[in-house]
Amino acid sequence: MAWRAWARSPWGCGSPAWGAPGAQGRELCAGRAPTLLLSPRFNFFIQSKNGFRKAPRKVEPRRPDGGIVGENYKRSALTPPVEETVFYSSPYPIRNLVKPLFFTVGFTGCAFGSAAIWQYEALKSRVQSYFDGVKADWFDSITPQKEGDFRKRVNKWWNTLTDGQRTVTGIIAANVFVFCLWRVPSLQRSMIKYFTSSPASKALCSPMLLSTFSHFSLFHMMANMYVLWSFSTSIVSILGKEQFVAVYLSAGVISTFVSYVSKVITGRFGPSLGASGAIMTVLAAVCTKIPEGKLAIIFLPMFTFTAGNALKAIIAMDTAGVILGWKFFDHAAHLGGAFFGMWYVTYGHELIWKNREPLVKIWHEIRTNSPRKGGGSE
């Protein structure tokens, strides 16, 4: 399913960011509209050494390169090249979720704490760069400029990006890098262990974060990254880049934990991967902040509806998927990301981000009283 969403700002119209005081009910800017492609966290089933019983299957002759000879050796491009397995319900107790729960809480706290320190250092560096600006301008005026058309083009392109687009560039690059790692045959076993999430896996905690950057299908990755790129300007304008990074990383872990809980309750332990849980947080946050924003289906632009109604429809679909046991999408992760995004822009910002001052003061004291070069401190 694909959607097109836009508004006068900040999606390419040059006016102040959504979420600013008094910003309500912005009209459409149909000329430069980002596209909302809702893509799933794909569920797939793989062979795993975690007590799963392999379903009886016909033994196929092997090719010299290790492949199977015959017409049955046809695999979807959406799943990793591993033997498929039928998963049976196993008695995984709720207590197995204790460790992922502590990891979720601890990682979320560290993410927001690091973001607060990052913002402090950025502000301090910005003040320092102001005084260094005059010196830098004078130095550039007496030194010859470096030549190179490619470098000039890259700098020109980079300067045209918004703060949000610059912020998500690193996230997109990380996803592309992990996508390339999936193509290395010798890394397949490690990728399945650490870059797919399942409560039945031996590695429980690290995949909760790493699977957020993991895509095996090119279409899956492109759809998710396009949505992130399209809404990056809006969400960063609302939260700021430091807070956005903390929310995005936390959303990936939180949505995976919700997926763990759902899988333990239902007894379906198929591993999942993809950034859709975190991206659902971004979409839900923007739709909650600007519920009057107009959306339209990408192939049917004549039909429009509000962002608030679109969010309700998405939540209804994922809720039905969880209840009815649809297996192609990780609907539980979608719901976890959506509810976290709605909660954060409504209450979480006030409860978490605006109470970061004690931590910043402690960090300031550490920086101020740290030993200086030559010994001693002030």
3-state secondary structure 163-176: HHHHHHHHHHHHHH
For the question of residue 220 being annotated catalytic, the response is no
Residue type, 114: S
Q: How far is CA 207 from CA 192, 260, 375, in A?
A: 9, 11, 43
| CB neighbour burial string for 299-338, b if at least 16 within 10 angstroms, e if fewer | eeeeeeebbeebbeebbebbeebbeeeeeebbbbbbbbbb
Q: Closest Cα to residue 19, out of 265, 234, 267?
A: 234
276/37 Cα distance (integer angstroms): 11
For the question of residue 276 being annotated catalytic, the response is yes
Query: Residues near 125 by Cβ (< 8 Å), separated by ≥ 6?
Result: none
**Residues 234/11, Cβ–Cβ less than 8 Å:** yes
Residue 316 has which token pair? 């209804």
Q: End-to-end CA distance of the chain: give it in Å, rounded.
A: 60
| Phi, psi at 3, each rounded to 5° | -130, 155
Q: Closest Cα to residue 224, out of 330, 65, 104, 90?
A: 330
Q: Could you say which of 215, 220, 331, 334 is catalytic?
A: 334
273/216 Cα distance (integer angstroms): 8
Instruction: Give start and end residues of each alpha helix (H) in 83-162.
Output: 98-142, 149-160
Q: Could you say which of 211, 262, 276, 331 is catalytic?
A: 276
- Active site residue ranges: 276, 334
